Amino acid sequence: MTLTTLIFDLDGTLIDSAPDLRTACNKLLQSKGRREITLEETKKFVGNGAAKLVERAFAATGEPAQASEIAPLTQDFLAFYDGHEADETGTYPSVMETLQQLKQQGYRMALCTNKPQKPTQNILEHLAIESFFDVIIGGDQVAKKKPDAEMLLTTLTKMGITADQAVMIGDSPNDIGAADNAEMASIAVSYGYRRVSVEELGADRIIDHMSQLPDALEAMKA
């Protein structure tokens, strides 16, 4: 297997963003007279983009939001989130060191996240990891978010490679599902945000720590 390119998810894979997502979501909920959601609830609601997070938060705290309300509520949420994306958000252990190691080994890297582009860019710049990625695609840059293959296929086209040269690294069914739909290899991290066990994702390999990624990639090439 000739692996030249790594495509990473963001939330739950490279960064622990749940605390800041919870804060912004709770500000929105408070403004509508709702109860706050917990950190654990937030982690379960993350993964399909901002609108889905808002929809799930409202369903969990009272009367579900009407379909026509989701878009304006999401804009309110993003307004609360804007400028506060990295107040408590940080990279998981060894992420920076591993990205540096992988770059030195010659891998090209991309980022595909269902998070909108603007907060994604803000976080990457704040955490000083933006420069590792040749391509960065947020959920509002494509018609269909992960697990649809569009985001990954767009990345392959931008990078001038084929699916057999890349591997998707993520924490959720959306990430591994997108890899499957793009006929791409995948690696799942056992931490992160999801509502099912990591084994149920069906990834080609599972790692417990980002520092294990280089060895996992070498094993896949064998």
- Cα–Cα distance between 162 and 173 in angstroms, integer? 22
End-to-end CA distance of the chain: 7
In a 13 Å sphere around the CA of 87, the CA atoms on its Cβ side amount to 13
Asked if 201 contacts 170 with a C-beta cutoff of 8 angstroms, the reply is no
- Cα–Cα distance between 146 and 11 in angstroms, integer? 13
Q: Which residues are catalytic?
A: 9
- Cα–Cα distance between 117 and 153 in angstroms, integer? 17
